[in-house]
Amino acid sequence: MAPNMENLLAEVSFKTSRSGGSGGQHVNKVSTKVELDFDVLESKALTDEEKALVSEKLASRLTSDGILQVISQSERSQLRNKKVALEKFQELIQACFVVQKKRKPSKVPRRVKEKRLLTKKMKAEIKKLRRKDF
């Protein structure tokens, strides 16, 4: 059910800027930070159901305009940051379409029930022996 990743990558846009943090002169003059933008609501590669699913699952990562932003600034190279951002994007999209298996509630084993009742009886017996009117 997942959409074709090549079609999605065609709709992705990139912005670059200077990375923050320490790093000296290199950080101050080279735009290595990469911001990947993907407009979920205006995407032609996603169906309406897929758009709703992505919007629901990635709601915390979407802007108010419905744009998914993935930012990478961990590497010193713009090209490597672009690759990292693309990998993150692909992982996020693929994670949206993973269907979780329904949980089957397990029964409490018979032996566990017996043990619980046995300890309950033992505690009751100990408390009974503490009483004065015994």
61 found inside a domain: yes
Amino acid type, 77: S
CA distance 105 to 27: 53
115 found inside a domain: no
Please list the rounded mean pLDDT of every run of 10 residues in the chain (134 residues): 78 84 72 90 87 89 89 88 93 89 93 97 94 77
126 found inside a domain: no
Dihedral sign (CA 18, 19, 21, 26): negative
In total, how many domains does the chain have?
Answer: 1
Query: How far does Cα 60 stand from its chain's mean position?
Result: 10
Helix, strand, coil fractions of the chain, as percent rounded to 5: 50, 15, 40
Q: What is the pLDDT of residue 1?
A: 60
SS3 111: helix
124 found inside a domain: no
Q: What angle do CA 30, 33, 34 make, to 5 degrees?
A: 130
| CATH number of the CATH domain containing 61 | 3.30.160.20
87 found inside a domain: yes
Check: CB of residue 4 under 8 Å from CB of residue 45: yes
130 found inside a domain: no
pTM over 0.75: no
CA distance 22 to 42: 37
24 found inside a domain: yes
Check: CB of residue 81 under 8 Å from CB of residue 73: yes
Can you count the helices (H) and strands (E) in the chain?
5, 3
User: 50 lies in which domain range?
Assistant: 5-96
* Run of H or E residues at 59: none
32 found inside a domain: yes
